[in-house]
Amino acid sequence: MIYETIRYAVREDVAILTLDRPDVMNALSTQMRAEITDAARRAPGEARVLVLTGRGRAFCSGQDLGDSKSIAATDLERTLRDEYVPMVKAVAECDIPTIAAVNGAAAGAGANLALAADVVVASEEAVFLQAFARIGLIPDAGGTYWLPRQVGFARAMGAALFAEPVTAKQAAEWGMIWEAVPEASFADAWWTRARHLATGPTQTYRNIKRALRQGLANDFEAQLLLEAELQGELGETRDFREGVLAFLEKRQARFEGR
């Protein structure tokens, strides 16, 4: 696929997916959703970490209300099922660690696209806004799933009902995101996080993602059994042997990652 609404590049085992419609604050069009989905599915074969970020002053302002292909009221269910669901699942179920580097406003589906990533690193200038009620809709793109689990029922309900901005610092305090960093050090912060994961044990990260996400639905015994299964897999890997050897030799581990 030739990308026209995003930029995609791989550097030092990090795939960087940049939303690239700064003139409309990186609003999500039908084409952009398809391109994000394609890039998120492509990244595991080319990199060990995927970073999503935005160009310009916003991360993503949500649905492009000027995109006539996907905003007709009678078409909302189809749009969500056929375009949003594949996009959000491609990010959430990506086989490598994902980081949302939120450089500015993340509103509506843009906020929830960020929350689908494994880790969110945000500039302190960023805000998160569940803007849906302002136009008579409910949070979508996974918002009603992630928010109660990340910030608790009361805060999730307030964020959805009042549709008020949540600052990056507040989001970090609530547990909605991993960290908020000063604007001046934002680019270095997310790149450092990405490189840390890119040099780590990729299969371990894959199993961590699987265990934590399945744990949202499993009962206690099922989760214990899943832990045993996944740990058994990792016990047979070269990275586990290298990690133990590096610990005993008091040196930095050198993980193959694959």
Q: What is the Cα–Cα distance from 125 to 25, expressed in whole angstroms?
A: 15
Which amino acid type is present at position 142?
Answer: G
- Residue 13 forms part of a structural domain: yes
Domain that holds residue 49: 6-198
- The phi, psi pair for 28, rounded to 5°, reads -85, 115
Tokens 């990244």 — which residue?
43
Residue 227 CA, distance from chain mean position: 23
User: For residue 208, what pLDDT is reported?
Assistant: 96
User: For residue 65, what pLDDT is reported?
Assistant: 84
Q: What is the Cα–Cα distance from 216 to 118, expressed in whole angstroms?
A: 14
Q: Are residues 186 and 218 in the same domain?
A: no
User: For residue 40, what pLDDT is reported?
Assistant: 98
Q: Are residues 84 and 212 in the same domain?
A: no
User: For residue 66, what pLDDT is reported?
Assistant: 80
Tell whether the model's pLDDT for residue 25 goes beyond 70.
Answer: yes
CATH of the domain at 135: 3.90.226.10
- Give 139-167 pLDDT, tens digit per residue: 999 999 999 999 999 999 999 999 999 99
- Give 31-48 pLDDT, tens digit per residue: 999 999 999 999 999 999
Tell whether the model's pLDDT for residue 69 goes beyond 80.
Answer: no
Q: Are residues 116 and 137 in the same domain?
A: yes
* CB-based contacts of 23, cutoff 8 Å, min separation 6: 56
Residue where one domain finishes, among candidates 198, 214, 237? 198
Q: Are residues 212 and 179 in the same domain?
A: no
Q: Are residues 173 and 208 in the same domain?
A: no
Q: Are residues 231 and 164 in the same domain?
A: no
CB-CB neighbours of 132 under 10 Å: 23
CB-CB neighbours of 24 under 10 Å: 17
- Give 196-222 pLDDT, tens digit per residue: 999 999 999 999 999 999 999 999 999
- Give 70-95 pLDDT, tens digit per residue: 555 558 899 999 999 999 999 999 99
User: For residue 257, what pLDDT is reported?
Assistant: 66
Q: What's the total number of domains in the chain?
A: 2
Q: Are residues 21 and 114 in the same domain?
A: yes
CATH of the domain at 211: 1.10.12
Q: Are residues 160 and 175 in the same domain?
A: yes
Q: Name the helix (H) or strand (E) containing 186.
A: helix 186-198
